[in-house]
Amino acid sequence: MKHTLVMLGQSLGKRKTDKQKLLFINTIAKPLLDKGIAVQIHRNPNKRVKSNNVHIGDMDACKTVMLCPYDTGRALLIENGRYYPCDNHANSQIQKHNLILETILGIIAAAVIYLTAGLLKADMTLRIIGILIDFAMFVLLLYLFTGPTPSTNMNRNSGALALTVQLSSTKWKKTAFILTDQSIDSKLGYVQVSQWYKDEADSRTFIMLDGLAHGDTYYVIGREGDSEVKFLADAIGASPLYLNKEQIKNSPLALFKHAMLICAGTLTDDHCVMVSPSLDHRDYEVDTERLEKLKNDMAEYIDHREAFLRPYEKSAATPE
């Protein structure tokens, strides 16, 4: 696990540009292909937005599919690095506030460059001051224009990605794995998967892995009335968290008929899990031992899923 974390957290820590994503895909695909494990790229049908999901294992035969975002997002300048895995509206507001701040900073930088243009015609001292100010403003504009990415992205989402990559190399016969693109700043990668499995009669279970590197408590989040949420939570030593219909509509779980999400974070007063730090310079912490244990628990769950379900099925069938 440590080797994979170092690779994904440092060597391949940024996965935002096409070149960075291609390097990541080639790096993780080669050892899987060498073992005879199927690895396929599913491209977004809408060519206006490039998004390449990585499918690992038998997509048709496996009835359980694990989803994990592999791209990295734009750094946040505000909001103290907060992320809400099952609150699309809150995340959109954070991104909106960040965009407004970036726009304001860009306008200020452009205005400063315009206002200091006269210094370039002054004496040598003022000219040097003007050049230094303009240079600083150009650096700021370039920083804003290129879309800064944190150098380490453990919670979003290198920690969960390391777990998923390791599981896929051993459990691909029983579970399919999809590493989703365009899933940090948006949910396009998840939408791609939902369109791929758009048959309403599809009985697959989708398990999303998000924000697992560092946080107070592991949570398994799912729909109210979904008994498998507790099955999975008990198997991995997590707390079950149930969302009502309105909360489901405001989460990525709404894209699938049967889905759960595993994350590590803090439960807020409004019954929502907050992951922090996220998309800022502090997102470098990872609880390696806990993540290793989660990987082992998930592997055991995959191997003995029917055995895990059977006691609950019996208790559910027993009238009170």
Report pLDDT for 312.
55
**Residue 318: burial class (beta carbons within 10 Å; 0-12, 13-18, 19+):** exposed
85 inside domain: no
Picking from 119, 79, 115, the residue whose alpha carbon sits closest to that of residue 95 is 79
pLDDT score for 318: 45
Predicted confidence at residue 79, as pLDDT, reads: 62
Which residue ranges of the chain lie beneath pLDDT 70? Answer: 79, 200-202, 308-320
Q: Which domain holds residue 113?
A: 90-146
d(CA 279, CA 210): 13
Do 189 and 256 lie in one domain? The reply is yes
**pLDDT at residue 146 in the model:** 78
Question: Do 102 and 198 sit in the same domain of this protein?
Answer: no
Residues 183 and 284 in one domain: yes
Contact between 65 and 139 under an 8 Å Cβ cutoff? The reply is no
304: in domain: yes
Residues 162, 130 share a domain = no
Domain total of the chain? 2
* C-alpha count within 13 angstroms, C-beta hemisphere, residue 233: 21
